[in-house]
Chain A
Amino acid sequence: GESVGLHLPTLSVQEGDNSIINCAYSNSASDYFIWYKQESGKGPQFIIDIRSNMDKRQGQRVTVLLNKTVKHLSLQIAATQPGDSAVYFCAETRAGGYQKVTFGTGTKLQVIP
């Protein structure tokens, strides 16, 4: 069945280092992937997305990589800051109209000052 999983439930990173959060998905039909950041007690915030016709997309301090061969998605955060501490979710869906969105459980990123 469809599933979106994360390799590590918790990731601790020194401030200033780069963070890499990984995600595996199983639905080959998914063609749109999203990363969200969720701070404690708040709703998820959109970070960055990528379509399946791309391998890489960059935002401000963040990069998403998509490897369709192994159904793997990663979020890279450059120069991690204390404000980056949160739970990060990946999500998979299909573009266009209503499509079911499958969310991963989340990875908690802890930034060590």
Chain B
Amino acid sequence: DGGITQSPKYLFRKEGQNVTLSCEQNLNHDAMYWYRQDPGQGLRLIYYSQIVNDFQKGDIAEGYSVSREKKESFPLTVTSAQKNPTAFYLCASKGNGNSGNTIYFGEGSWLTVV
């Protein structure tokens, strides 16, 4: 099936530890995004990538890093510099203008600091 796959669904991080969230899409979309969602809150943009080997900071990039080595993959690393990482993380992708303007989301990953 076509779509966006995030893994793991649940992840626990110890203090001072880096963790990486995986995001894979087979929609042939150019643009990919990472959002953070806190309980009862809206979506905040962490990083986005318009094309392979290119990515830009969003509104809350501090303490996070990304890479875009392949079109299909956009992993997010939550570093120890992120002091309040407990949240629901959503990966998304969007095609180019010819294939639509809608952003499609994965099922999300829950990250908890223990």
Which residues from chain A sit less than 8 Å from chain B, CB to CB? 32, 34, 36, 41-46, 49, 89, 91, 93, 95-101, 103-106
Interface residue SS majority, chain B: strand
Report the minimal beta-carbon distance from B67 to chain A, rounded to whole angstroms: 18
Q: How far is the CB of A27 from chain B (nearest CB, A)?
A: 15
> In the complex, A32→B88 CA distance in Å?
26
Contact B108 A97 (CB under 8 A): no
Give a binary string over B5-48; 1 marks a CB under 8 Å from any A CB, 0 the rest.
Answer: 01000000000000000000000000100000000111101001
Once bound together, how far apart are the Cα atoms of A34 and B102, in whole Å? 7
Known: A89-B42, A97-B96. A42 touches B50 (CB 8 A): no
Interface string of B81-114 (1 = CB under 8 A from A): 0000000101000101100011111111010000
Interchain CB contact under 8 A, A103 and B101: no
Of chain A, the residue at the smallest CB distance from B110 is A41
Determine the chain B residues whose CB is within 8 A of the CB of A101 once the complex forms.
45, 103
Residues of A within 8 Å of B42, CB to CB, are 89, 103-106
Contacts of B45 in A (CB 8 A): 100-101
The answer to whether A93 touches B101, judged by C-beta atoms less than 8 angstroms apart, is yes
Q: Report chain B residues within 8 Å CB of A89.
A: 42-43
Is B43 in contact with A43, judged by CB distance below 8 angstroms? no
A98 near B48 with CB under 8 A, answer: yes
Given contacts A43-B106, A98-B48, contact A32 B101 (CB under 8 A): yes
Chain B residues with CB below 8 A from A45, complex form: 105
Q: Are B104 and A95 in contact (CB under 8 A)?
A: no
Chain B residue numbers with a CB within 8 Å of A103 are 42-43
Chain A residue with the shortest CB-CB distance to B51: A98
Contact between A95 and B50 (Cβ–Cβ < 8 Å)?
no
Shortest beta-carbon distance, B96 to chain A, in Å?
7
A95 to B102 alpha-carbon distance, docked (Å): 9
How far apart are the CA atoms of A105 and B37 in the complex, in Å?
10
